Amino acid sequence: MTGDGKRPSVEARGISKAFGGVAALDAVDFEVRWSEVHALVGENGAGKTTLCNILAGIYRADAGQVIVDGTERDFRSPAHAIDAGVGMVHQHFRLVEPMTVAENIHLGWPETPGVVSQRALVDRTERFMSETGLHVDPTAKIWQLSVGEQQRVEILRVLARGARVLILDEPTAVLTAKEAEELFAVVRELAAGGLSVIFITHKLREVLAVSDRLTVLRHGIREITRPTEGATASEIARLMTGEERVLDVEHRVVTGDPALELRGVSALNDRGITALHDVDLTVRSGEILGIAGVSGNGQTELAEVICALRGLESGSITVDGSGTASMSVRAVTDLGVGHIPEDRIGTGMVLSASVKDNAVLHNYWTEQFAQGLTLNRQGVIDFARRLVEAARVQTRSIFATAGQLSGGNQQRLVARREALAADRLLVAAHPTRGLDVNAAQEVRSTILGKRDSGCAVLLISDDLDEVLLMSDRIAVIYEGRIMGVFEAAEADREHIGLLMGGHSMSEAG
């Protein structure tokens, strides 16, 4: 029973929730209807996830009511919520990697038969997939699947338990652009079938692309609920941030000496497959060269070969005229190369170490801190204090572990640390990924500041808007090849989009 398009499926009335005295939600009203995709929008920490955790029975509200399909509910666990038809797919998947898709869908499901063969599980799963129109190989092991497919398994698992209201928490954060498009199609399909889908995101383009209605939360207060039709990105952005902050970037044409030159560079990825084919690139001092491309087309390897974290198969790389082919990571860093790595937490930080120790990770060996063998402890402390202040990292103490920092603070710390280390060249890989609008603006200002002070910047991003906004020149990468390089003035969005999708110059032109 899904009802018509007007009746609400889930209603939250006057929901309040505080954590340790800090209000995460303040008397929020929220209503979702059957057969609609409802985007829940807001910056990091606006209360989106908290609200949905209450709807899905993970938290209990301090005040307010949750009404599901006309009946007031008091969920004490996610199991209660799923019994009432509300299910959530979390940002971090809860799948058992060595087990098959069919096994994962049936795990912990009361309707799974007590004694059952693999064959029967697969049959049940296939029947179920044809009902929902979502398909994944039921015999595949989870670790063999792409992230997008794993997400589909999570959605299937929730739908299998009878969910009629599906909550997706930042579902595109982990997806490639193509996978995201596929997800949008699935979501539209589910809503057309009568379900409600709550789509949590802070990406404005997704809101406009996928939702029927939208609700904006800011600092735990509902700003607006309205139909998506007729809404503009800048209007939503203003409601999210409370002010319209558009970075005004002046693009330049720079003719100085090249700070970074790649000639015929080829390199392998971790699986031993060629990830970069014969790449030629030049970045001049005082300019930002943006690399546009869909994730997984060699960008990771490109950043790593430049910083000597990955070896070359052929070709040469020079920084300020010195060839780096046989240099160590440290020697390249000492040339004045900073690197904001793609995986800030996994590569750029040590969560168990203190903020202070993380602050000097990329320059502790320099004369500023190291005298022979000894490390100047006071110097490190002073440097860390200044860095934390400059990057506006909120931490109780520089001696506390980096693991206690929130994600945004961790990112700001790494971005500012690397910007300081970069005298000649800053390699920034997806520097604003996962950040809210304000934090992203701060990181972008930092990068622009480096450019203006004469540093060369290689900006890698799968967010084409960001590449177009920031870059003085743009190179498009596809399957490890550079498809073309453009001055910002002559860059055409559609043309670049075609090149990113693998259409050659002649086809695109």
Partner 1 sequence: MTPLASIASAVLSVTPWRLERRLEVDARRAALTRIGGAVGAMIVVGILLLLTGRNAFWIFWQALDAIFGRQRGIEGVALRGIPILMTALGVALSLRMKVWNIGSDGQFLMGALAAVGVGIHMDGPGWLVLILMAVAATVAGAAWILVPALARAYWDVNEIITTLLLNFVALQLVTWSALGFWRDKEAAVIQSTREVPFTLPGLPGANSVTIALLVPLVIAAVLWWVFRSTTIGYEIDIIGGNPRAAGFAGIAVRRRILIVMLFTGAIAGLGGMLQLSAPGAQAMNAGFSAQFGLSGFIVAALAGASFWGVIGGGLFIASMFYAGIVLQTKGLSVYIIFAIYGVILTGIALGEIAARYRVVRRDAADESEATAGEAAAARKGADS
Q: Which of 290, 341, 480, 484 binds partner 1 (CB under 8 A)?
A: 341
HEC profile of 138-207: CCCEHHHCCHHHHHHHHHHHHHHCCCCEEEEECCCCCCCHHHHHHHHHHHHHHHHCCCEEEEEECCHHHH
The reply to whether 357 sits near partner 1 by the rule CB under 8 A is yes
The distance of closest approach from Cβ of residue 373 to partner 1 in the complex, given in angstroms and rounded to an integer, is 5
Q: What is the DSSP string of 44-74?
A: TTSSHHHHHHHHTTSS--SEEEEEETTEEE-
The distance of closest approach from Cβ of residue 374 to partner 1 in the complex, given in angstroms and rounded to an integer, is 5
| Cross-strand bridge partners of residue 428 | 340, 459
Q: Which of 146, 234, 322, 328 binds partner 1 (CB under 8 A)?
A: 328
Nearer to partner 1, 166 or 464 (CB): 166
Q: Per CB under 8 A, which region of 1-9, 372-380, 443-451, 473-481 contacts partner 1?
A: 372-380
Nearer to partner 1, 65 or 397 (CB): 397
- Range 10-49, binding partner 1 (CB under 8 A): 17, 19-20, 22, 24, 44-47, 49
Q: Per CB under 8 A, which region of 240-248, 295-303, 362-370, 457-465 contacts partner 1?
A: 362-370
- Would you state the structure tokens that stand for residue 277, as one six-digit string? 């084919």
Nearer to partner 1, 35 or 409 (CB): 409
User: Binders of partner 1: how many residues, by CB under 8 A?
Assistant: 61
Q: Which of 117, 326, 352, 506 binds partner 1 (CB under 8 A)?
A: 352
Q: Which of 144, 234, 397, 445 binds partner 1 (CB under 8 A)?
A: 397
Overall residue count recorded for the chain in this entry? 509
Q: Per CB under 8 A, which region of 92-100, 181-189, 317-325, 427-435 contacts partner 1?
A: 92-100
HEC profile of 79-123: HHHHHCCEEEECCCCCCCCCCEHHHHHHCCCCCCCCCCCHHHHHH
Q: Which of 120, 177, 268, 309 binds partner 1 (CB under 8 A)?
A: 309
Q: Tell me the pairing of strands 456-461 and 288-292.
A: parallel
Measured CA to CA, the distance from residue 499 to residue 492 in angstroms comes to: 11
- Range 118-177, binding partner 1 (CB under 8 A): 169
Measured CA to CA, the distance from residue 428 to residue 461 in angstroms comes to: 8
- Residue 311 burial (CB < 10 Å; 0-12/13-18/19+)? exposed
- Would you state the structure tokens that stand for residue 497, as one six-digit string? 């989009």
Nearer to partner 1, 211 or 333 (CB): 333
Question: Are the CB atoms for 289 and 492 separated by under 8 Å?
Answer: no
Torsion sign (Cα): 85, 90, 93, 94 = negative
Q: Which of 347, 368, 445, 504 binds partner 1 (CB under 8 A)?
A: 347
- Residue 472 burial (CB < 10 Å; 0-12/13-18/19+)? buried
Q: Per CB under 8 A, which region of 4-12, 27-35, 342-350, 455-463 contacts partner 1?
A: 342-350
The reply to whether 58 sits near partner 1 by the rule CB under 8 A is yes
Binding site for partner 1 (CB under 8 A): 17, 19-20, 22, 24, 44-47, 49-50, 53, 57-60, 76-79, 90-94, 169, 219-220, 309, 328-330, 333, 339, 341, 346-353, 357, 361-362, 364-365, 370, 373-375, 377, 396-397, 399-401, 404, 406-407
